[in-house]
């Protein structure tokens, strides 16, 4: 079975744990809704990155709180590229699925739609 990547991102207004966890849940739920055959048992792993201005909580906590405790989760720091979107959470989910890459739906929410407007049109 192939492993497919699902990308997504969301902006967060302030560096507060509750806002980061809420945004993480919103993003993961949107990915689930956009990919109806996705179930946590088929997720090989998830990598979350946060821009340097967000550091008050690990977004993986939200995934664990959603019941994804068996999914390998990793958090990291997004590189600080000048003039890039601040206060952003990004996700790369590795999904074991037979779906072709063209049927995978990626999610870019809030101000993060500027990161991949070509993919937002599909959502």
pLDDT in tens, 42-58: 999 999 999 999 999 99
Instruction: Calculate the CA 84 to chain-centre distance.
Output: 17
Catalytic residue among 22, 26, 61, 75: 75
Determine whether 105 is exposed, middle or buried from the number of CB atoms within 10 Å of its CB (0-12, 13-18, 19+): middle
Question: Which domain range does residue 9 map to?
Answer: 3-120
Prediction pTM value: 0.91
For residues 74 and 7, what is the distance between their CA atoms, to the nearest angstrom? 15
Say yes or no to pLDDT of 92 above 90.
yes
For residues 106 and 70, what is the distance between their CA atoms, to the nearest angstrom? 22
64 included as an active-site residue: yes
- pLDDT bucket at 91, cuts 50 / 70 / 90: very high
Say yes or no to pLDDT of 119 above 80.
no
55 included as an active-site residue: no
Residue 95's CATH number: 3.30.1330.40
Strand-pairing partners, residue 47, are 74, 92
116 included as an active-site residue: yes
Q: What percentage of the chain carries pLDDT values higher than 70? A: 97
């Amino acid at each position: 079975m192939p492993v497919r990547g699902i990308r997504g991102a969301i902006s967060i207004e302030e560096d507060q744990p509750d806002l980061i966890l809420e945004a993480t849940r919103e993003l993961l739920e949107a990915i689930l809704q956009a990919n109806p055959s996705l179930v946590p048992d088929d997720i090989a792993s998830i990598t979350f990155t946060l821009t340097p201005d967000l550091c008050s909580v690990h977004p993986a906590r939200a995934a664990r709180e959603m019941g994804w405790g068996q999914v390998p989760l990793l958090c990291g720091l997004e590189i600080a590229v000048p003039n890039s979107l601040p206060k952003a959470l990004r996700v790369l989910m590795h999904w074991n699925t037979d779906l072709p890459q063209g049927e995978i739906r990626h999610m870019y929410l809030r101000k993060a739609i500027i990161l991949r407007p070509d993919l937002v049109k599909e959502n």
